[in-house]
Amino acid sequence: FFKQKTAYEVTARLVGSEMCIRDSIQTVQSLCTHMKPGCGAIVMNANPFTNGHRYLVECALKQVEQLIIFVVEEDRSNVPFDDRIELVRQGVMDLSNVVVVPSGNFIISSTTFQSYFEKETKTEAVIDAAMDIEIFGKYIAPVFGIAKRFVGEEPTDFITRQYNEQMAEQLPRYGVQLIEIPRKQKENSSEAISASTVRGCLQMEDYSAIEKLVPSSTLTYLKNNFEKLERRKKCCLLYTSPSPRD
């Protein structure tokens, strides 16, 4: 049966990694020189960046003065990391007080949260995200002055829903509040906008449907890189775990 790790067990696993964690944070911190205590954070994969992601950012900015967006750096998604982070930057470039940075090796990575990258094949798995959450709460949040972490509601993805629930329980121990935002829905529909829906439409080259779900910068990227993404998807299917959904 699943057993939640104790604080001692998690801490013991982290002791040998503290220097690596601090080095990784220092690298990202150099990109966030103007952040003040009390800022907010979002961690997103953005595979690709959608109107749903944009909505989450806009909602977060109504509750904090400054916002850091950590884009998952683990390069195991259909859209390559370098392209994902650029799409996020383009998607929020008109918003003030938003900084977009790579997540580094210790936020939703194969080191801290391997289950995230297996959720399309292990849809009913029971997860333990204690290490990922402790690293964020103990090491990352204090350095950046993060007081609130924002996530979108997760009605269908069991793995991500567990992650959200565990963060809601554990992050307050480190002075970080988890705030869950209802997902933006498709126009005239109760269905939430998701990156997985966009990828499904892309597979059919249904750009008219995609246009309603993503910013113009993402749409242009998908149109111009369809063959590249198809080749990458085939490589991922052959050599790696299935790509994470959002």
For residue range 59-74, list pLDDT tens digits in order: 999 999 999 999 999 9
For residue range 14-53, list pLDDT tens digits in order: 545 787 888 888 888 888 878 899 999 999 999 999 999 9
The amino acid present at 225, given as its one-letter code, is N
E strands, the chain, are 39-44, 67-71, 98-102, 146-152, 177-181
Q: Which two tokens stand for residue 93?
A: 């470039």
pTM score, two decimals? 0.89
Q: Is the pLDDT of residue 82 over 60?
A: yes
The average confidence (pLDDT) of the chain is: 88
pLDDT given at position 37: 94
Residue 118, number of CB atoms within 10 A of its CB = 16
For residue range 140-176, list pLDDT tens digits in order: 999 999 999 999 998 888 899 999 999 999 999 999 9
Q: Which own/partner pairs from 174-177 qualify as long-range (CB within 8 Å, at least 24 positions apart)?
A: 174/136, 174/137, 174/138, 174/141, 174/142, 175/137, 175/141, 175/147, 176/136, 176/137, 176/141, 176/146, 176/147, 176/148, 176/149, 177/147, 177/148, 177/149
